[in-house]
Structure 1
Amino acid sequence: MGMIKVHEFTTLDGVVDAPMWTMDYEFSDEFSDAIGQITGTCSGVLLGRTTYEMFAPAWSSRTVEDDPGAPFFNDSPKYVVSGTLEHADWNNSTVIGSYDADRIRELKAQQSGDLYVSGSATLVRALLADGLVDELHLLVYPVAVGTGIRLFPEGGPRTPMTLLGSRGFANGVAQLTYGPATA
């Protein structure tokens, strides 16, 4: 059985949507290697509809020469959680229907490796609520933007977690890795 590893770009004030603010910070080899370490054990990608619709056109035309992560995103099986998307045209993509925790558990159990989730805030919130996230990798950018979708919105449930690791990068970004809270 694989794990579910979530990767989110976030601001100091917790905003995770449309991360255009990342463009102000160098995407160094060190930073690329950190993301590669997250995806390195993954054999599939789990995405919500909105993120899938952003990723498919952005990644499908990229090659390894454009981005070392391109083969992972283009060649790995992709599972799209959506009750409205009828088909997924990006290579190796399957629409698995509306969010269903039991279906995600089955998918997780069937994996030879881990499942990687990026973005997909609505999906990630549901996965967290159902205790399905094994690793939450937050790449925290040193900027507050004031508005936008937050992973942990105001009024959301209390979500205790355990710090698994942390590191800083030369571009000012910090990687914080969390797992389920231990008793």
Structure 2
Amino acid sequence: MGKLVSTVFVTLDGVYQAPGGPREDTRGGFEHGGWSFPYGDEDFGRFVGEVFGGVGGFLLGRRTYDIFASFWPKVTDPGDPVAAKLNGLPKYVVSSTLTDPEWAGTTVIGGDLAKEVTALKERTDGELQVHGSGALVRSLLDLELLDTIHVLTFPVVLGTGLRLFTEGTLPTAFRHTGGRVTGAGVSIQSYDTTGRPAYGSYELPDNG
């Protein structure tokens, strides 16, 4: 059975919208697209290569799928570790409107997300990876299906944009499994989900 693993880019103020380019996602009049680009050094590239080295399939939200499908099929270099995996491995896109995907190896899933994603995990050899797809990540957390999340926090504050964890996200605790900071200052931290948060108090006990 495969693990469901999310990799997501966020700013210091929690924005995940349009990290890769100015036209990637302009919802809400967002004008800061491409904010991750200045930090793409060798350390960053090394981590991305490590992530794609363990993938067995991809689970994507519709918007992220459309962004990927407009770019990666055009990258035909067999030595590109990202393009080779994205173009060659199964891709599952969660959508109620996409009916005829043109990107080879794509399957559209809908309906009972919990049932379908559980089945995908069971038959995936390696990691079933979610890239971007913030709304889908929140849904997977709510369904308690996500196993691991890699959070890449970039040293920039934007002040506007869609946040990864919005009000109403299921309270979830995580166990830190590893981390590093790139030369450009990107904090890469990995966590496994562990269930509900624990609570306590720093108040001194009342001894009467």
What TM bracket, shorter-length normalisation? over 0.9
Do 2:138 and 2:169's aligned partners in 1 also have CA atoms closer than 8 Å? no
Cα distance in 2, alignment partners of residues 21 and 31 from structure 1 = 14
* Residues 70-102 of structure 1: per-residue CA shift (max 9 Å, x gap): 101111110011111112111211111246111
2:35 partner amino acid: W
Q: Is 1:80–2:93 an aligned residue pair?
A: yes
Question: Unaligned regions of 5+ residues in structure 1, if any?
Answer: none
Q: Is 1:23–2:37 an aligned residue pair?
A: yes
> What is residue 30 of structure 2 aligned with on the other side?
none
Percent sequence identity over matched residues?
42
* Residues 47-73 of structure 1: per-residue CA shift (max 9 Å, x gap): 011110111011110133794311011
Q: Is 1:50–2:25 an aligned residue pair?
A: no
> What is residue 7 of structure 1 aligned with on the other side?
7
1:136 partner amino acid: I
SS at match of 1:21: coil
Cα distance in 1, alignment partners of residues 143 and 51 from structure 2 = 22
SS at match of 1:30: helix
Q: Greater shift after overlay, 80-89 or 28-37?
A: 28-37
C-alpha RMSD of matched pairs (Å): 1.7
Do 1:5 and 1:115's aligned partners in 2 also have CA atoms closer than 8 Å? yes
Question: Unaligned regions of 5+ residues in structure 2, if any?
Answer: 20-33, 197-208
> What is residue 47 of structure 2 aligned with on the other side?
34
1:24 is displaced (CA, Å) by 2.1
Cα distance in 1, alignment partners of residues 113 and 66 from structure 2 = 20
- Computing the radius of gyration from Cα coordinates, the structure with the larger value is 2
